[in-house]
Structure 1
Amino acid sequence: MALITLVAGARPNFMKIAPIIHQLLACKDSYPNLSYRLVHTGQHYDQKMSGDFFEQLHIPSPDINLGAGGGSQAEQTAAVMLAFEKELLAHRPDLVIVVGDVTSTLACTITAKKLLIDVAHVEGGIRSGDMTMPEEINRIVTDSITDHFFTTSKLASDNLSSYGVSEERIHFVGNTMIDTLITHRPRFTKPSGEVFERLEKGKYFVLTMHRPANVDQQEKLKAMIEAIINGTEGLPVIFPVHPRTSSSMKETGISYPSLYLVDPLGYLEFNYLVENAFAVITDSGGITEEASVMNVPCMTLRDNTERPETITLGTNELVGTNPDNLRPYLQKLMKGEWKSYQGIPLWDGNAAKRIVNKIIELYLTRRNH
């Protein structure tokens, strides 16, 4: 028997873990002694940020929700660790799988390793080099104690090798988030509402911003929005507003005729918007991956990225956090001179299959010999 505990806590996690669950379920008949438990840490507790994803991505309900949402990062980390320890003691697995780089990833890895349970990190090895990002700290700590790494790129694998991780623990499998994108792309759904009804395909921008460097200083936020509006030449800019950004926007009183603030969208609705957009402007790493694979021009409002393959082979460009940097990129886009998607190795929809095959090899086949 092999019991796998899958951990998901925040919105990006669900997209990464869904194909692994589907693959484990597909193997049920061939490997009846392989089972899993899905643990939702509750890090994202808003319905649009979490609940809708289970329904839209056809993920079975979690076996347990730890209910550890809210509070500061330290409080959240502590709440996840306390609750996850009880879960592991009640249902001790052979392997814990964590994904991405959120607080839950770090907290559950530490908890499992202190109980001497193996951990595999999906999306291990990626680095931005920016220690001001909580995610970077989460990645470094998680990868320093993880047993197996499922990497999205050769560069991520090389990063791990350079830290002294042995080759047999590094598994280059591709990107499970792209598995989800490819699976559900035929089901993308136009959001309902008057704003969306008026949009013309390829004649609007999608904007997302949530990082502290962009949204916490009101003057900076104001200047960035102004630069975006000035460079988009009157085309609609659709901005699904992250809860973090909503209060800052209200306080600044930012308002433009072509800027549309909308509520957070479900996965199928948001990606419909991206697929049909003229371009995307974002500070999210995951969106740069999805936009690249859908061949939609993408500009990242960050000074660094842990996903350089979206720049070298994708449609993404690193603009930076200075609003003045945007103009030349938007001018290039408006002239029709943007680059096209070149194809990123193993981003082919089969990453989860490779992951589950490797888990079977490590925790069933080898163990039985």
Structure 2
Amino acid sequence: MHLRHLTLADFRSYATADVPLGPGVTTFLGFNGQGKTNLVEAAGYVATLSSHRVAQDGPLVRAGAEQAIIRAAVVRDQREQLVELEINPGKANRARLGRAAATRPRDILGTLRTVLFAPEDLALVKGDPSVRRRFLDDLLVARQPRWAAARADYDKIVRQRNALLKSATPLLRKGSRRPVGGDVDAERESTLQTLEVWDEHLAEVGASLTYARLRLLHDLRPFLADAYGEVSGGASAAAVTYRASVHEDLAAQIASGDVPERDDLARAMHETFGQVRTQEVERGVTLVGPHRDDLVLQLGDLPAKGYASHGESWSFALGLRLAAFQLLRNDLKTDPVLVLDDVFAELDAGRRHRLAGMIADAEQVLITAAVADDVPEALTGKRFHVQLGSVEEQG
């Protein structure tokens, strides 16, 4: 799989950009702030419908413009497909695949698959659990695009259940009564029954998502061990476990590496709702489910967060991305596009050399760098100079 062409209109700093690409290594060179990352961000957006830099679409549209457009020609198994995305902040985005309009933008997921490593990935080791959850869920969707709908369904259920908890908190608090009239006991009973219905929905969809994450993590672990060992020079062993928000017995089983059945996960989630009901009512938020889980990263016997050095943290984050690349390569029988955004400047000479050796056979690698000397000589190929929103191929 590779990108043959990338065209932008009013995306980030580009009024227009037309970039011919192809298999092998392509490097975008230029000083910071010139627009290199904007190019690979656009490629990543086609693959994931999200940015690795911002949570909202607004900053993706050039100042003064109403919308941004990305067109990508994607080649897989010698067949080419054209993807077009129209980004409309505050409105519904639109997508086309070939000549046909997609019902929803997420219908184009899977056409292009990318694995992107960027300086922001240091947060995989040092940041909040939400960053690690997103890594796992994005990889899940890259592996099987149907999980995008499941994620959307789950997020919707959590929002609706939270809204019910917030509105019902004064009513459900122990000993509380409404200040004016009404059958308080009847209202409380009705609210509890409604909450139990949402418990069932959340447990069902949440168990499926958790099961898929656990299966994915089971398959990812050996690739992570190999990737981290190679990029770090074998300094320490890297491992990852799943910290679930269900009750302690099943959480311990999951942390040991077991993958319970969906029904067991749903049952445990539902039981845990009962255990934390008081806290949920007091706080007005859902405290159980995949949105409260975390990945625990370990180097040897110690957690990476708080103990790993800067270099070890970089190696761990890079190991996770390289493991994702190898997993997708193994599953899909084709390479995803590998994107390395301003990575080599952060690595010492040994890690640069080892990384170059690991990715040299990838079908397509897109690299951004401030200066050519940052990129190992082994990664030769097409080069572009990027300056103030212009992209020119170097001879």
Q: Determine if the TM-score, normalized by the shorter chain, exceeds 0.5.
A: no
Structure with the higher strand share, 1 or 2: 2
- Give the TM-score of the pair, scaled to structure 2: 0.27
TM superposition score normalised by structure 1: 0.28
Q: Which has the higher contact order (CA 8 A, sep 6+)?
A: 2
Q: Point out the structure with max Rg over C-alpha.
A: 2
